[in-house]
Structures are given as structure tokens and as C-alpha cells.
Amino acid sequence: MRIHIISNFYPPHRGGIETYVRNLAIGLIRLGHEVKITAAHPPMKPGRYTQDGVAVRRLRSIGRFYGVPMTPTMLCRIVSVEADLIHANFPNPYNAALAAFASQIKKTPAVLTWHNDLPPVTRLAWAFVKMHDELFSKLYLDKYDAIVATSNAYLRGSKILQRQKEKVEIIPNGVDCERFRPGIPAEDLREELKLGRCKTLLFVGALSRWHRYKGLDDLLRAFKILERRDVRLLVVGGGDLRPEYEALARSLNLGGDVIFAGDVPDRILPKYYAASDTLVLPSKNRDEGFGLTILEANASGIPAIASRTGGIPGILTDCENGILVPPNDPTALAEALRRIIENDELRGELGKKAREIALRHDWKRVASETERLYCKVFSTSPE
């Protein structure tokens, strides 16, 4: 089968959608399919590339609107690529609409993965989101043969997905359980970061205004409430809000107890999980569609503390592979941090169960489930 996947960006650009697209493409190729990716060019130059055996076409982007790249040649590209199926990704209304209309022009089946609803990041954005959800989305969502949601939890809470629920299939995100695994040596990294014998909390996420919902500010306030000098907070990620978070850490007198590691290359990211005792993902709202870092932590054999919001409850079960806490509540978060830091036995039990759960979400299984959906789409599509 010839599959054309449309993405915002593609690695080395960092993000949940980019991770999803890369691993899905690799998995589909291993199943014998031909996969082509089309994405905006940053952080590389426009052109044709082959990465991990995947053919990637990077189109010139002229900028961003509402956080997504604008690529003027995208429609022509989708129409011109010979494919048996088009697979787009949301939240990118621009690409989702173009892929839907191109599928109608080409009479080619189309699938859309709905990672999360369009986030209203500012007050003004509420009007744009409402206009999209109530008016514009209807023009293109009906044209898709199937929509993938990554969890039942997110499906239940999404008004826009509920209107399309007859065509929604649940296929959770995955994790590379060979790359992220227990036992990766990390003593050198702990020494480099001067972690010593301290317990280490890990946050992994972009520090940009489009990812403010990740809740790093709440985590910093909870860490202040914790008041443990034998614990370090390791922050992995970069973005335009990094100076703001660093200033907040200074205002809270957290000093060297918080380590901002910046962007970390994918090849060494597993070592950061191995150097840590637990992951913390204190997302503020349902803009968090899944929480891939939870699976990465679980595959590494460490539990996660995360907010009971968005798609997180679909992958994290309280007291099984981590601890769920109310969103936007630094005090409750601090108590969960204290509980898991002070109880080595609990942390070990949760970490063991976490690895078992992660093994059920390997990308190989995600690729197989997606292949099954493609076959279903073909069997029901009109000739």
C-alpha cells in the first residue's frame, strides 16, 4: 500500500505529532508498505530527504498562523503524490482541510489522527477556535473516511469528536520499548548534572507559549512547597518561555535545585529518563491529548505523576503506573511528589507495573492497528 502522511513538521523537529509520524511511518514500512511524508521545512532546508528509510519531502513554510506552518504548495503536493491513502494529523486545520479536499479531488481514501482539540491559547483565540469547531471543521471532517483518537478518555471529552464518533477509531500512541528501557547506564549524566545522591524528578516538554498547558509553572510551585534539599527537578526542553520559567524558579529561591537542561538530542533522551526517579507531567487542561512522555517514562521503568485531564487518564491509571492529581493544584501535586519520593517500595512497584503497561503500547502494535484501520477503510470505501 502507498501511504502519504501529512505532518506539521518532521524530526529533528521535536513534538508529539512528529514522534508519532516518524514511528508510525517506520512501523508501516516494516510491514511492507511504501510511505511518503510531507511536512514543513524547519529545522532543515526545503527539499527531499531520506530519514530512517522514510522518504520525506520538506516544503517551504512562509511562517505560522495559530502555531501551525503555512506551506503554500501543500495542496499541489498532496494532489501530485501517487498514493493509495492519505493520512493527515490534527491540530492543524490548514493541513487537515487541504488533505480532505485533495482526497476528494484524487478520489483517494483519507484518515485523520486527532491528537487533540484546537487549543485556545489566548482570549482572542477563543473566537477563532469556536469559529473553527462550529463552522469551518464541518467543511472538511465529513470528508474523512476514518478519524483516529488516541484514547477513549479524550474522545469522551471532545465535543467535536463526539459529532464524528461513528467514524472514530481508538488507537493509542506508542513507545519504542527497546530504546526506552530499564537499566540504561546514566551515572555519567548524573555526574555531569551534579545530581549526586539526590532523588530526581523529570519534566520533558517544549517550553513555548503553545505548550504552556504542560504546567511547568505549577510544577515549580509544587517543588517549592515540597522543600526537600535532597531532591532535584530536571527540566528537559527549550522554547521562548524558558527565561520566564527560569525567572520563576529564581523568584521561588529554588536555586540549583532546578536544572534547565535545554533541548536534548533524541539519541540521548533515554538516558535522562534513566537518570531520574519519576516523570512529572502537570498538564493544566485537556489540550494534553495523550502524554507521550508518560509512556517513555513507563518504558524506562519509572512511574509518572500527571494531571487527571485530557487524554492522560487513558494511559495513566492511578496507583498502577503512576499517580494522578487534580490539574492546576500545586499543593496536591506537592503531596504526590512527597509520597513517591519518600516511598522507595511504592516507586519500585509502580515502575515495574509501568514497564509492563508500556510493553503493550510498542509502536509495532500501533502500526499493526493502523494497518488494520487502513484495510477497513478500503473495504468500506466506494469504488
CATH, residue 210? 3.40.50.2000
Domain identity same for 125 and 31:
yes
Domain identity same for 261 and 288:
yes
Q: Please provide the average confidence, as pLDDT, over all residues in the chain.
A: 94
SS3 category, 33: coil
Domain identity same for 78 and 110:
yes
Domain identity same for 170 and 247:
no
Asked if residues 307 and 215 have their Cβ atoms less than 8 Å apart, the reply is yes
Asked if residues 41 and 59 have their Cβ atoms less than 8 Å apart, the reply is yes
- Quote the CA–CA distance of 317 and 323 in Å, as a whole number: 7
Length of the chain: 383
CA angle in degrees (0–180, nearest 5) for 235-240-246:
45
Q: How far is CA 87 from CA 77, 95, 98, in A?
A: 14, 10, 11
Question: Residue 182: inside a domain, yes or no?
Answer: no
Question: Residue 135: inside a domain, yes or no?
Answer: yes
Give tens-digit pLDDT for 54-113: 999 999 999 988 778 999 999 999 999 999 999 999 999 999 999 999 999 999 999 999
Q: What is the share, in percent, of the chain residues with pLDDT greater than 90?
A: 81
Q: How far is CA 30 from CA 23, 84, 316, 363, in A?
A: 11, 17, 29, 11
Asked if residues 189 and 383 have their Cβ atoms less than 8 Å apart, the reply is no
Asked whether the predicted pLDDT for residue 179 surpasses 80, the reply is yes
All three cell numbers of 282: 502537570
| Cis status, amide bond into 43, omega within 30 of 0 | yes
pTM of the model: 0.88
Asked if residues 162 and 124 have their Cβ atoms less than 8 Å apart, the reply is no
Average pLDDT over residues 264-269: 92
